[in-house]
A and B are shown apart, each in its own frame.
Chain A
């Protein structure tokens, strides 16, 4: 019979202890988590740390190209990276619905552990709760991450100047469309998978360019359009995108044309928007392109144009506004 999570798995008794020992410590028990302290003691030489937290409620929790486990690692690791932090430690909290298949939990924790290893982060503290059936949709996860500030990087949109280059590290929209398609049974063929993945490799490529790097952000909910609009809001500058410059995979184009959803509005979970001095653009691009996750990196536009707006030249030569998406485009994608 299929093993399922019971309320007692979260009750603090024998079943809890076994779940923690068999499923958590077996995967994450090599570091400070080994002795199961209530809080982790961490050694630190750095003067500045970067600290971030994120919760994950994606539905379905298995989606093409990933699952909620690895997403919960990459999501937080990436938030630390784009704030200029080299991620080191992670907390991991699980909220599991009574009746959740244990095998699903194992698959999720396996990929959580793999993702942490890939990013070079250690899970140092955690928590597991089980809630009654109907009180959560399968499994929710929360992670917090601590990273050490990379020396020489000074990030902030106030440092952006007209003429700066706007770079995207790869094709956009795969995560949001893959989840949407999986959730709604839209047949898209084999090719459409989430881009969920880590950004710390890209961070290391950008780091040597120091203060020439002005701004980094991962375009998750709201997509590239939301990030760019946040950057220009109340600023003296705008951003002009080049026509057809934003890289989009064939699979995403097909789905976006079919559904009438602009890929610029759709979430990525393994991409970075980076704004830098134009003199550093070629160097950063070739660094990005040396990594598999950055092979499609390119300059998509320039800082300039009408203050506070994001615009794109259309094929008729007219500039159009790239606005924030409105309403409920895709709920629960991360």
Chain B
């Protein structure tokens, strides 16, 4: 398949791993690289990249999966909406995320109605087909999914649909990188920057950050060779003592990003504080509907509150998301907490760090 097979060649992978081994040996110190994108996390696990790296190169999975950083109170609010007779429409990943008392899957099993969408367009179609039913699209995600999610509002306005709104839990990546880099308990030497988020915000968006914190930032694609090449780029910067933004995913990411998408988003949304599950409030890291569109905010329309705070005290997802522990260092991993019976959000989403470890990483030498 074009643009896939070229980036999954095992001979090239072996050559790249060889180069990484040489660079790592020359550095002769531990290097912590954090990826902040769920698709990177999955690709690293699926292709066994973490295990193939030299011992002093640590890949740490950061808070890159939007489902994982969505607070329990958000799920509670979605279930509450469902109980009011409003129909939540959501990507399937949200179904099993535990709220404080229930989940959308449990709500559905008890006879509640939840619609699974593979695209935000499906929510618009649902609303058009059932004008007497209030549909709420669960608008969760980073910059990549914000645009399509906001298009639900755009359609709702243009098609004059009185029965379609969104419940927002949007996140922005740059404030999260700043928060992680300012945390004295965490030592990150470099970021492997996300592919599709960068397509929206642009490679230049990382520049002030890289300069301020003196941290190399390398934007890489999702294929295994993309990721290995990204690691080579990072190690070379660390060796040279530089801290710049390197865009290796130029086949998709432009320096300025997607200006049109950002302008579209800005029409409807403004920056706001956001609560990250396991991390807490990160100032200015969210996006909420501008006041003139607040009637399309399901929380306002149906007077539902999203309670802040994390619920299960045993859950270590926060420390996993910050890279302080690996999933298998959590006492509940793979015994109490499994994909079938998740305690924390990192086990729920297919792109969650714990789910990736569980699915791919439990064996093997």
Contact = CB atoms under 8 A, between A and B. Distances in A.
Interface of A: 184-186, 243-244, 250, 253-254, 257, 259-260, 306, 309, 311, 314-321, 323, 326-328
A328 B96 CA distance: 10
Contacts of A328: 92, 95, 105
A135 B330 CA distance: 46
B169 interface: no
B9 A306 contact: no
Given A185-B122, A326-B339, A317 B363 contact: no
Interface stretch (B10-18, B73-81, B259-267, B294-302): B10-18
B9 A318 contact: no
B336 interface: no
Interface in B119-134: 122, 125
A317 B96 CA distance: 33
A253 B4 contact: yes
Contacts of B338: 326
A36 B112 CA distance: 44
Interface string B219-261: 0000010001000000000000000000000000000000000
Given A314-B224, A320-B360, 6 more contacts: A260-B39, A309-B364, A318-B52, A318-B364, A319-B364, A326-B339
Count chain A CB atoms within 10 A of each CB in B17, B51, B363, B364 and give the residue with the most. Answer: B363
Interface in B10-63: 10, 13-14, 17, 39, 42, 45-49, 51-52
Contacts of A250: 1
10 contacts: A184-B118, A257-B4, A309-B363, A315-B9, A315-B224, A316-B10, A317-B48, A318-B48, A318-B51, A320-B46
B13 A327 contact: no
Contact of A314 (B48, B122, B363, B365): B48
Contact of B13 (A184, A244, A253, A316): A316
A309 B364 CA distance: 10
A315 B13 contact: yes
Q: Which one of A311, A314, A316, A323 has the highest number of Cβ atoms from chain B below 10 Å of its Cβ?
A: A316
B8 interface: yes
Contact of B362 (A259, A321, A326): A321
A113 to B, nearest CB: 35
Nearest to A260: B350
B207 interface: no
Contacts of B13: 315-317
Contacts of B105: 328
A317 B122 contact: no
B359 interface: yes
B340 A316 contact: no
Contacts of A257: 1, 4
A243 B1 contact: no
Contacts of A259: 118
Contacts of B42: 260
Nearest to A309: B363
A311 B364 contact: yes
A320 B364 contact: yes
Interface of B: 1, 4, 8-10, 13-14, 17, 39, 42, 45-49, 51-52, 92, 95-96, 105, 118, 122, 125, 224, 228, 338-340, 350-351, 358-365
Instruction: Tell which of B14, B339, B364 has the most Cβ of chain A within 10 Å.
Output: B364
A321 B359 contact: yes
Contacts of A184: 118, 122
A316 B49 contact: yes
Contacts, number: 87
B122 A306 contact: no
A91 B37 CA distance: 52
Contacts of A185: 118, 122, 125
Nearest to B48: A318
Given A253-B4, A257-B4, A327-B96, A320 B48 contact: yes
B46 A314 contact: yes
A317 B4 CA distance: 18
B334 to A, nearest CB: 11
B8 A315 contact: yes
B122 A316 contact: no
Contacts of A320: 45-48, 360-361, 363-364
A334 B17 CA distance: 44
Contacts of A254: 1
Contacts of B92: 328
A318 B49 CA distance: 8
A316 B360 CA distance: 14
Contact of A186 (B48, B118, B363): B118
Q: Counting chain B CB atoms within 10 Å of each CB, which of A243, A323, A326, A328 scores highest? A: A326
A121 B23 CA distance: 66
Which of A260, A318, A323, A328 gathers most chain B CB within 10 Å?
A: A318
Contact of A317 (B8, B10, B95): B10
A17 B364 CA distance: 63
B8 A321 contact: no
A257 B46 CA distance: 13
Q: Which 3 pairs from chain A and chain B are nearest by CB?
A: A318-B48, A316-B52, A314-B48
Nearest to B350: A260
A319 to B, nearest CB: 5
Contacts of B45: 320
Contact of A327 (B39, B46, B224, B340): B340
Contacts of A314: 46-48, 224
B75 to A, nearest CB: 16
Contacts of A260: 39, 42, 350-351
Contacts of B9: 315
A306 B363 contact: yes
Nearest to B8: A315
Contact of A315 (B10, B39, B339, B359): B10
Nearest to A183: B118
A308 to B, nearest CB: 10
Contacts of B351: 260
A316 B105 CA distance: 37
Nearest to B96: A327
B16 to A, nearest CB: 9
Contacts of A316: 10, 13, 17, 47-49, 51-52, 224, 228
Given A257-B4, A326-B340, A317 B52 contact: yes
